Structure 1
Amino acid sequence: MPDLLRYDAGPALVPDLLRYDADAGLLVTRYLPGRIATGTPAAGDPDAYRQAGRMLALLHCGPTSSPRDKGRYETTMLRKCRSWLDRAEGPSAGRPLAPAPHLAAARKWLDGFVPAPVELVPTHGDFQPRNWIVDATGTLGLIDFGRAELRPWYTDLVRLEHQEFLADPDLAPALFEGYGRPDGPFTPGRWLDHLGQSLGTVVWSHDMGDEGFEEHGRRMLARTVEALASPRTHRRPG
């Protein structure tokens, strides 16, 4: 999605687009100087998250924003969730990749899910401190657009919600202050993405042999199914 790198990012830093090949799925960008935010004070600094919120708002208002999609996005995500769930239940692995009660709860919820139209916006796809750059002035930038795609706005928050927002409750309000809107409700479609990213993480990590990340996916799944069982399913996971 090269158009994502063709908008005015204001004070935020984004790499200049040099060339792309849509058929090959390749982007070539100019090097963006700075330090990865992970492992620096910025990774836990509410001021950095306010910058991140402003940067995310600019991205989501980019030139390729789309009207409501007539349910195609959620239909596709539902199909992916069921495919990942089939694999997580173990036919190819020889064993379940997550606790059976969690997989059964996910299956029951997905069986009752009805896709609905959603608004699609340009999203990053891996929005978290490991893809934020901090320059010498403390200005935040964004790199690694390899998963950029049109999706609902809340999909860029799922990874933060299962990591940084759990570790420090002050970070989510700071990000939404920068974003310029309050956090929206946890709608069924938003939970669908939580299940999708949880199951996808478990299955992908298993295929890659990354046991640590596979366990992270199981924790994501546990938090998600626990929240879905709560009467207050609008609450943030965890």
Structure 2
Amino acid sequence: MSATPRLSPAQEDVVRRWFPGVAVIADLSWGLTDTVVLHVRYAEGESIIKAAGSGNHHIGREIAAHEQWTTPWREVGRCARLLYVDRDQNMLATSYLPGTLVKDHPAADDADTYRQAGELLATFHAQQCTVSQDHESRMDAHSIAWLDSDHRIDAVTETRLRDAIARHPHEPVELVPTHGDWQPRNWLTHEAQVTVLDLGRADWRPALTDLARLARQEWQGRPDLEAAFLSGYGSDPREPAAWQRTLLREAIGTAVWAYRVGDETFEAQGHQMIAQALEIG
């Protein structure tokens, strides 16, 4: 493998140890964070390698999700297998999944894609359940921390957001394994089947949180896609008050994170999400 500028020398050594004679097919990194995603070929086949700096928590979350929660998907060929892990270098390697990203593909407008996505998410959520006494307070504290950091939310809107958060109840809530970024950019389509990518945000959360990004993107003006998803999922987990809190937190995080990484398009989406969340609040 020739030198890859975004991998450290120690990480390059790990890749060579895992896959002697490896060749990089494509760099699939987004470039917004320090996460490196490489599609590689080696003697026995192809793999996806992910690596990041020591302060990046997404790799650790993805490793934990593969180790604890992906069995229902792996058993039906709907997600990759974890091949190698190096926690010291913050790296992992998985098997390669064939297919095309659903985002910007005709499958993104196909109701059956969303039915399958609903079914896959339901199996993921159904594996375990726990009750948290402090989840709601922790999530509100996280939103306040976003607002305390640098952002471009105007002062009047920021005050409304803080006031809304201050009114949130902090009751016990059921948590399940969640993907954390459930949307077409993290799904592949191959031979009319949907498969799953990127578990870097997987964590214990209320089930409804995995519907938030779809609701503010793909389902806007497309009730048929929403209905297909809920048909596959088997129910609608969105209790109205909890849903409003979720959309508010998601909107704040989107606007502030996007500003932090310099993604102006995503930041604008975050500001639109804030306006929508305040309107329904």
TM, length-normalised to structure 2: 0.71
- Aligned partner of 1:61 in structure 2 is 126
The change in CA–CA distance for 1:26 and 1:150 in structure 2 (over 3 A counts) is: farther
Name whichever structure is richer in strand by fraction. 2
What is the identity, as a one-letter code, of the residue corresponding to 1:222?
Answer: A
Q: Distance in 1 between matches of 2:132 and 2:92?
A: 26
Distance in 2 between residues matched to 1:4 and 1:176, nearest whole Å: 22
C-alpha change, 1:28 and 1:75, in structure 2 (3 Å) is farther
Match of 1:148 among 175, 183, 202: 202
Shift of 1:50: 0.5
SS in structure 1 of the partner of residue 211 of structure 2: helix
Which residue does 2:174 correspond to in 1? 119
Asked if the contact 1:191–1:224 (Cα under 8 Å) also holds between the matched residues in 2, the reply is: yes
CA shift in 2, pair 1:186/1:10, >3 Å: farther
Specify the alignment match of 1:110 in structure 2. 165
Cα contact 2:143–2:252 (8 A) shared by 1: yes
Higher alpha-carbon Rg: 2
Q: What letter matches 1:169 in structure 2?
A: P
Aligned to 1:236: none
Q: 1:167 to 1:9 in 2, by over 3 A?
A: farther
Matched residues, number: 216
2:212 to 141, 155, 158: 158
Q: CA RMSD in A?
A: 1.9
Equivalence for 1:39: 104
Aligned equivalents of 1:24 and 1:120: distance in 2? 30
Match of 1:74 among 115, 136, 145: 136
- Partner secondary structure for residue 167 of structure 1: coil
Q: Does 1:175 align with 2:175?
A: no
What is the aligned-residue identity percentage? 37
The alpha-carbon deviation at position 108 of structure 1 amounts to 1.1
Structure 1's 183 and 44: CA in aligned 2 closer, same or farther, altered over 3 A? farther
Deviation at 1:149, TM superposition (A): 0.8
In 2, distance between residues paired with 1:120 and 1:21? 28
CA shift, 1:9, in A, is 5.2
What is the letter of the counterpart of residue 205 of structure 2? R
One-letter amino acid of the counterpart of residue 100, structure 2: R
Q: Distance in 1 between matches of 2:87 and 2:71?
A: 15
Deviation at 1:17, TM superposition (A): 1.6
Match of 1:29 in 2: 94
Q: Deviations over 1:100-133 (max 9, x none)?
A: 3332221111111121111111111110001111
CA drift at 1:38:
0.8
With over 3 angstroms needed to count, the CA separation of the structure-2 counterparts of 1:195 and 1:43, relative to structure 1, is same
Higher mean C-alpha deviation, range 199-208 or range 13-22: 13-22
Is there any run of 5+ residues in structure 1 with no aligned partner, and where?
229-238
Give yes or no for contact 1:9–1:58 (8 Å, CA) kept in 2: no
Q: Deviations over 1:72-107 (max 9, x none)?
A: 2111101001111223xxxx46xxx12433322211
